[in-house]
Amino acid sequence: MKKHIALLRGDGIGPEIVDSAVEVLKAVAVKFGHEFTFTPYLIGGSAIDACGKPLPEETVEGCLAADSVLLGAVGGPKWDTLPGHLRPEKALLGIRSAMGLFTNLRPAKLYPALKEECPLRPDIVEKGFDIMIVRELTGGIYFGERGYREGKYGEEAYDTEAYSRMEIERIVRVAFETARKRRKKLTSIDKANVLETSRLWRKIVHEIAAEYPDVEVADMLVDNAAMQLVRNPAQFDTIVTSNMFGDILSDEASQITGSIGMLPSASLNDGTKGLYEPIHGSAPDIAGQNKANPIATILSAAMLLLYAFDMKAESDCIVNAVDKVLNAGLRTADLCRVGAPLTCTEMTQKVIENL
């Protein structure tokens, strides 16, 4: 197969980890007889430096024209004081919107080889966990009306959460389909005791549940869910939740896997076109030092092969190589407690050797 992938390296460790994933994809292409081509586009702070805006039109056009998109991360202290519309993070919301990426799949599983890195009690770790978080990505408070105004006590800022029936229905359906392919257990997380948007969300979840009698569904309030994730993560299979709750809970889930440097994600629209990225940020504290863990981005490339190109064997090949490397005790600095850690490029090489 011939496939074209747009690369959004971004800022901080973005270029290092995307280059790692590209090396792995090139090795997979050779092994399986595919032809992958890659075109880099500017995004985030590096785009602001080059052309004064975080998401240039050529980047959007390039992503829409490509077969799939691989993103590193954006942002950093250099751009933190810019006004909101010029912040690197604005580019993420822009590209998600332009590509219609309303679904964000964030798997969080505990690798047996990384049990020692899990910060939870040994009896909880022993049970393990394998969770798929389905997060709504183009609605809610991150996209709602916002602004500044003069309030009762002077200057005031506001952001608004709004969800339409259509937005909730489509993400909830994705979640039921996802749960159906897993352990058939769906937890819908909301704040229905306080928020109107959550009450609509909950009502629609129960309407759609009637179409999926084989999937067990339960509601959970977000504050309880934050607690349950560290108390008993094994109880979860598939989780569906709104944009902001999913953002926060998936970072919590990442930390109990051992390192945020391990977790990939897929952002999908209603076709096969998607954008694949690690869930972590640009890690400015370790940028340019060859210390980053490339595994989250390498596993994002594995998700890309599976979801965008329907290449299951190729995707499994990467996932198995990562398993082998971890089982052999090889670690980057974020996961290494004894011995010398591997650099980002050394870890990449080890994954390639194990494909």
Is 111 a catalytic site residue?
Answer: no
Q: How far apart are CA 54 and CA 91, in angstroms?
A: 5
Residue of 11, 19, 237, 247 with catalytic role: 247
Give the closest residue to 230 by CA, choosing from 336, 133, 319, 123.
123
Residue type, 136: E
Is 251 a catalytic site residue?
Answer: yes
Regarding 89 and contact with ligand NAD (CB under 6 A), the answer is yes
CB of 98 to ligand NAD, least distance (A): 16
Q: Is 279 exposed, middle or buried (0-12, 13-18, 19+ CB in 10 A)?
A: buried
What's phi and psi for 225, nearest 5 deg?
-60, -40
Q: According to CB under 6 A, which one of 139, 233, 261, 274 is a site residue for ligand NAD?
A: 261
Question: Which residues lie across from 158 on neighbouring strands?
Answer: 147
Say how many residues touch ligand NAD, by CB under 6 A.
21
Contact partners, residue 84, CB within 8 Å, separation at least 6: 90
Q: Which is nearer to ligand NAD, 139 or 294 (CB)?
A: 294
Residue entry with tokens 């950093």: 76
Q: How far apart are CA 200 and CA 47, in angstroms?
A: 39
Question: Which residues lie across from 70 on neighbouring strands?
Answer: 7, 276
CB of 241 to ligand NAD, least distance (A): 17
> Which 11-40 positions form the footprint of ligand NAD (CB under 6 A)?
13
Q: 3-state class of 242 per DSSP?
A: coil
What's phi and psi for 241, nearest 5 deg?
-160, 175
Residue of 3, 11, 111, 142 with catalytic role: 142
Residue of 130, 219, 251, 323 with catalytic role: 251
The CA R_g of the chain, rounded to the nearest whole Å, is 20
Residue type, 126: E
Cβ–Cβ under 8 Å, residues 59 and 43: yes
Regarding 280 and contact with ligand NAD (CB under 6 A), the answer is yes
Is 181 a catalytic site residue?
Answer: no
Q: Which is nearer to ligand NAD, 179 or 281 (CB)?
A: 281
**Of 60-68, 123-131, 202-210, 292-300, which part binds ligand NAD (CB under 6 A)?**
292-300
User: How many angstroms separate the most distant Cα atoms in the chain?
Assistant: 66
**Of 93-101, 175-183, 225-233, 279-287, which part binds ligand NAD (CB under 6 A)?**
279-287
Q: According to CB under 6 A, which one of 317, 334, 347, 351 is a site residue for ligand NAD?
A: 334
Regarding 73 and contact with ligand NAD (CB under 6 A), the answer is yes
Termini Cα distance of the chain = 19
Q: According to CB under 6 A, which one of 139, 140, 274, 281 is a site residue for ligand NAD?
A: 281
Regarding 69 and contact with ligand NAD (CB under 6 A), the answer is no
Is 11 a catalytic site residue?
Answer: no
Q: How far apart are CA 9 and CA 323, in angstroms?
A: 25
Residue of 191, 212, 307, 334 with catalytic role: 191
Is 191 a catalytic site residue?
Answer: yes
Regarding 253 and contact with ligand NAD (CB under 6 A), the answer is no
CB of 261 to ligand NAD, least distance (A): 3
Q: According to CB under 6 A, which one of 114, 260, 263, 351 is a site residue for ligand NAD?
A: 260
Give the closest residue to 236 by CA, choosing from 134, 149, 88, 98.
134
Regarding 246 and contact with ligand NAD (CB under 6 A), the answer is no
| Active site (catalytic) residues | 142, 191, 223, 247, 251
Q: Site residues (CB under 6 A) for ligand NAD?
A: 13, 73-76, 89, 92, 260-261, 277, 280-286, 292-293, 296, 334
